Amino acid sequence: MMNWMLLGPELHCLLMGGVFLGLSMVRPNPARDYLTAMVFATVVVGFGLAGMKLQGDLFAAAYRVDLYSQVFKILIGLGLFLVVSISSGMKGIDERYHPEYYLLLATCTLAMMMMASAVHLVALFIALELSSYSLYILVSMRKGRGIGIEGGIKYFFVGASASAVMLMGMALIYGATRAFHIAELMEILPSVLNQPEVIIGLMFTLGGFFFKLAVFPFHFWAPDVYETAADQVAAYIATASKVAAVAILMRMAAVSGGGSKYLIDVLAILAIVSMTVGNLAAIVQKDLKRLLAYSSIAHAGYILIGILSMSQSGYAGTIFYVLGVVVMKFTCFLVVVKGASGGRNIEVSHLAGLHRRSPILALALMLALFGLAGIPPTIGFTGKLLIFTAAVEQGHLPLVIIAMINVVISLYYYLLILKAAYVEEPAETLPPLEVSPALKVLAIALITVMLVAGIYPQPLIELARAAALALI
Amino acid sequence: MPVEYAKFPYLTTILLSCIAGLLIIVFMPRERKTEIKVVSAVFSGITLVLSIYLYFAYDKQAGGLQFVEKVLWVKSLGIHYFNAVDGFSLPMLLLTGIVFFTGVLTMWELENRVKEFFALLFLLVSGVFGLFMSLDLFFIFIWYDVSLFPMYLLIAIWGSTRKEYGAMKLTLYLLAGSALILPAIVYLVVQSGMNTFDLTALMAPGTFTPGQQRFAFLLFYIGFGILAGVWPFHTWSPVGHVAAPTSVSMIHAGVLMKIGAFGVLRLGIFLCPEGWHYWAHLMAVLATVGIVYGALAGLVQTDIKYVIGYSSVSHMGIVGLGLATVTLDGLNGAVFQMFAHGIMTALFFSSVGYIYDRTHTKAIDELGGLSQIMPKASSFLIVAALTGIGVPCLASFWGELVVFIAAFKTYPLCGTLAVCALVISALFILRVVQRTCYGPKNEQFAHLPDISFGLSIPRIILVSVIVLFGFYPALLFDMIQTASVPLFGRLP
């Protein structure tokens, strides 16, 4: 007898998809769609929290439910909930397509949760493709003159190439080990890790996940997709999608045990290049979403530092950091969504006068920016501290120093955003932003999380360490 | 060392009164400007009273760490909320209390975005207090950054003269410093193998090899040295001070630059004494260059605040020179100078601030004959100038004297150069006084009122402190001795 609670969040995502499939066939009603989606998203998060301590293997041990997967499912569900909560009155996507939008969000979330639990290479691949295809369509749904299509096609081409590379890698690994199960691979791989085809296979496989995470050299899609997708879709890519990518990346990295020197060197180089490219390119961006895309690329670099430490503290730091990224990036997108007028993209200069138009959003933005820059006492700093400590434990001090230099570079453009929001005044006086009470509560909750996790991170650190232990 | 826990958490109370002040201001309506200022004055006053109380309640006979508060914070990383004071941190707390309180009073006339200004000021000062009293590396780093990042907005919103450029330059420089400090902290914690961020535990002799100490000390020295205005990392300092509004300049030059020197002392010298010995010559050279360079650069400035900014570089060089001697006298003198310079430069900026608020100019050439127009305001400026020169019976004199005596013994050449530079600095400071306070009146400003009694209160407090410690330096030296003597006792 199978315990259905094990699949609680997944089944509700599936149900949500089914319901919206039905709703897409009747007359559109944005308010009804939004409320339905909110209910489902809340339930998904609720089931995620309720099922946190569950454990079990399903489907011929291709699907594992443990603390590691459940923590990631909560984060992914949280991403869904947050993105849905800013989808009311969405202007970037035509009202006719709102049910399809929620439908694809549901399938994508389902796929990402599967990514967190999949422990079989084929299951991993299927989950990854399902989430990618949902996102290709979501990106293309942007209203107006085919800009969404352009972004969608770009995303699709890079994604399809990455998938091909990944399949090739999986084939190489299988060829060398005759194993598809992560558990078997964990036993066999460390002993054959010095064979070139295994290293290449592993790198190619990781390449597919690098695409999701927007790590150099698979990062080209990110700025264009963020820019052309609807704000909410971009927010989803920046939060939930990143969480799933990290979940699967860590799962594969942990397969190699302590890692080989080649693998770690390659990861270190990718981390350095990602951070540097992301931060340097972000400096010159005018469009706020493009800027956030480049900052995501830079953050992918920091995340890689945690993963390449290949230790419990490194994985724990990464999990903590990902939570931070979700909260901080989402806060930025909250401002993007509320600040953009009429479904158009928001530029950094459009934030002028935000501190008058909505003090609470300006405050939340300030904390999110400082958090992204890794300045205490915010969640972003604690995450960086954990990652850096783990890296230094493994003797990667030069990498940490390079990362800190990058932090200073990134601070420049975060401060430019802050300057726009707090120092500059708009040319003509703009009316206060209309922020509904529910969103104010959300903003206060985000501020609280960012601060409390920065000042008193103990419970979250313990949770992250326990989750990381389940991985290795 | 034996640790006795505090019966009442005085130190946390200081922090909490900063945070309470911050929260109350955040929830006050922004139109009630006077009430916001009163709240700020009250809560900053509480911190001042508490720091004065602690200064005199500290048992100098017993020495060591007192008023200890320690709570385990993050178990898996060995982070403690660990506050305590010793003979080094108490003068700094007192300095912070005085400058904060007088800084708030100095800004009484502020009208633009009052609420945000005082909220950010409280945030900044809570970081400063936290840093001086914390003995856990994690918290020290947190407080360090908390004391820096409000600076950006404080300067960019309320500043003058290229404020956005100055704010950005200052913030990036100072956080570049923290980019060196954090790896150094993490490196030491990991290398110790003790899984703790507790400074007193990591201080144990033999924890780190000489090589590790040399490496980490260099990172600490450069990282904190940027904030302390060590040449050649000082360029943010004059630009930032000029751009900042008056009380921010006061706190910044008066207290924040001391954080830099204090960080070198607390983290660098406490944890890596071997590194201190090793890099002492480098420190001496950089400090001497800073003293001479600051004095020469001050000589040619046309803006009063630039003059003070460069004099800060020069005076902080004296602190650096004192630390570089690796002698008891040098260390005592350096800490004394930190305190004295903090008060002096606060008075300097605060008196210039009044003049700027009235005349709207800081150009030396446009001012003149101020002692006839506003005799009281210019007398404050003159006292600050005389303290800056190091006139006997004013606080700075003792710090400079002790440092120079120590420097002559250890580095005769550096000591000689530094004393020569002092003559130059006397020249450039007197030049400012002569051109602004004396000489022909600028008729344009002849109608301006002199400083009111209310606004002169903060300046009077600062002058009294300068005179008090000028006449009775033992009050401070005895306190510093309680910490510096044991420190040298520990050294190999």
Q: What is the pLDDT along chain B (492 residues), one digit of tens a residue?
A: 446 777 788 888 889 999 998 999 888 888 888 888 888 889 999 999 999 999 998 888 888 888 888 888 888 888 889 988 888 999 999 999 999 999 888 888 888 888 888 899 999 999 999 999 999 999 999 999 888 888 888 888 888 878 888 888 888 888 888 889 999 999 999 888 888 888 888 888 888 888 889 999 999 999 999 988 888 888 888 888 888 888 888 888 888 889 999 999 999 888 888 888 899 899 999 999 999 998 888 888 888 888 888 888 888 999 999 999 888 888 999 999 999 999 998 888 888 888 888 888 788 777 777 778 888 888 888 888 888 888 888 888 888 888 988 988 888 888 888 888 888 888 888 888 888 888 787 777 777 788 888 888 888 898 899 889 888 888 888 888 888 888 888 776
Give yes or no for B417 touching A (CB within 8 A): no
Phi, psi for B184 (deg, rounded to 5): -65, -45
Q: What is the pLDDT of residue B492?
A: 61
Q: Count of CB atoms within 10 A of residue B338's CB?
A: 30
3-state helix, strand, coil in chain A (%, to 5): 75, 5, 20
Tokens found for residue B181: 């400090």
Question: Which residue(s) pair with B85 in the sheet?
Answer: B66
Give the containing element (helix H, strand E) for B385: helix B375-389
Does the pLDDT of residue A176 top 90, yes or no? no
| pLDDT digit string, tens, across residues A276-290 | 999 999 999 888 999
Please tell me the distance from the alpha carbon of residue B488 to that of residue A353, in angstroms, as a whole number. Answer: 55
Q: Which candidate, A10, A257, A17, A19, places its Cα nearest to that of A123?
A: A10
pLDDT at B1: 45
Please give the pLDDT value at position B235.
86
**What's the first-to-final CA gap in chain B, in angstroms?**
18
* Residue A297 pLDDT > 90: yes
Q: Measuring CA to CA, which residue among B369, B127, B438, B261 is closest to residue A455?
A: B127
Interatomic CA distance for residues A331 and A333, integer angstroms: 5
Calpha distance A220→A214 (Å, rounded): 8
Given an 8 Å threshold on Cβ–Cβ distance, is B138 in contact with A419? Answer: no
When the pLDDT of each residue in chain A is averaged and rounded to a whole number, the result is 88
Grade residue A1 by pLDDT with cuts at 50, 70 and 90: very low
Nearest to A265 by CA among A199, A339, A314: A199
Report pLDDT for A2: 58
Look up residue B339 and give its two tokens. 């305190």
Radius of gyration of chain A (CA): 21
A269 touches chain B (CB under 8 A): no
Residue B300, CA atoms < 13 Å, CB-side half-sphere:
4
Contact B17, B124 (CB under 8 A): no
pTM (2 decimals)? 0.90
Do the Cβ atoms of B183 and A370 come within 8 Å? Answer: no
A130's enclosing H/E stretch is: helix A121-140
Q: What is the mean pLDDT of residues A77-84?
A: 93
Q: pLDDT over 90 for what percent of chain A?
A: 40
d(CA B485, CA B361): 47
Greater confidence (A192 vs A237) lies with: A237
Is the Cβ of B447 closer than 8 Å to some Cβ of chain A? no
Which residue from A375, A419, A461 is facing B156, i.e. has the nearest CB? Answer: A419
Residues in chain A: 472
Q: Which token pair is B118?
A: 């005082």
Q: Round to whole Å and give the CA distance between B314 and B295.
A: 6
User: pLDDT tens across A327-351, in order?
Assistant: 999 999 999 988 887 777 888 888 8
Segment A400-406 mean pLDDT: 91
Distance to chain B for A313, nearest Cα, Å: 10
> Do B96 and B122 meet the contact criterion of CB atoms below 8 Å apart?
no
Cβ separation A375–B145 shorter than 8 A:
yes
Which residues of chain B neighbour A390 with C-beta distances below 8 Å? none
Pairing of strands B79-85, B66-74: antiparallel
Question: How far apart are alpha carbons A301 and A325 in whole angstroms?
Answer: 13
B176–A388 CB contact, under 8 Å: no
Between residues 389 and 428 of chain A, which touch chain B (CB distance below 8 Å)? 389, 392-393, 397, 400-401, 404-405, 407-408, 411-412, 415, 418-419, 422-423
Q: What's the rounded Cα separation, in Å, for the pair B361 and B344? A: 22
pLDDT recorded at residue A105: 93
Q: From chain A, pick out residues whose CB is under 8 angstroms from the CB of B77.
A: 386, 389, 461
In terms of DSSP H, where are the helices of A141-260?
147-177, 182-192, 196-213, 221-228, 231-236, 242-255
Picking from B149, B180, B190, the nearest residue to A375 by CB comes out as B149
From A9-18, A119-128, A294-303, B450-459, the region with the lowest mean pLDDT:
B450-459
> A355 to chain B, minimum CA–CA distance in Å?
10
Taking CA atoms, what residue in A is nearest to B185?
A: A389
Among B32, B27, B29, B56, residue whose Cα is nearest residue B122? B27
* B28 interfacial to chain A (CB closer than 8 Å): no
What pLDDT score was predicted for residue B3?
A: 62
3-state helix, strand, coil in chain B (%, to 5): 75, 5, 20
Check B183 against A456: CB less than 8 A apart: no
d(CA B271, CA A209) in angstroms, rounded, equals 42
Specify the residue for token string 């199978």: A2
**Tokens representing residue B115 in the block:** 């609420």
Burial class of residue A428 (count of CB atoms within 10 Å of its CB; 0-12, 13-18, 19+): exposed
CA distance A65 to B432: 74
- Across the interface, do B182 and A404 touch by the CB < 8 Å criterion? yes
A125–B contact, CB cutoff 8 A:
no
Q: Could you give the count of Cα atoms lying within 13 Å of B222 in the half-sphere of its Cβ? A: 14
Whole-angstrom distance, CA of residue B383 vs CA of residue B144: 32
Q: Is A7 left (phi over 0), alpha (psi -120 to 50) or beta?
A: alpha
CA pair distance A330, A15, nearest whole angstrom: 25
Residue pair B327/B409 in contact (Cβ under 8 Å)? The answer is: yes
Q: How far is B184 from chain A (nearest CA, A)?
A: 9
Compute the distance between CA of residue B335 and CA of residue B323 in angstroms, rounded to an integer. 9
CA-to-CA distance for A283 and A281, rounded, in angstroms?
5
Question: Of the candidates A377, A405, A456, which has its C-beta nearest B179's C-beta?
Answer: A405
Three-class DSSP category at A211: helix
Do A330 and A319 meet the contact criterion of CB atoms below 8 Å apart?
no
H/E stretch holding A105 reads: helix A98-117
Report the C-alpha gap between B109 and A313 in whole angstroms: 52
Q: Give the tokens for residue A51.
A: 């099922």
What are the φ and ψ backbone dihedral angles of A311, each rounded to 5 degrees? -135, 170
Is B81 an 8 Å CB contact of chain A?
no
Residue whose pair of structure tokens reads 């004095």 in the numeric block: B295
Kindly report the backbone phi and psi dihedral angles of residue B274, in degrees, each rounded to the nearest multiple of 5, phi listed first.
Answer: -65, -40
At B67, is the secondary structure helix, strand, or coil? strand
Tallying the residues shown for chain B, one arrives at 492
* Cis check: omega of the bond before A196, within 30 degrees of 0: no
Gap from A375 CA to chain B (nearest CA, Å): 7
User: How many C-beta atoms surround the C-beta of residue A427 within 10 A?
Assistant: 9
**Cα(B478)–Cα(A315) distance, integer angstroms:** 50
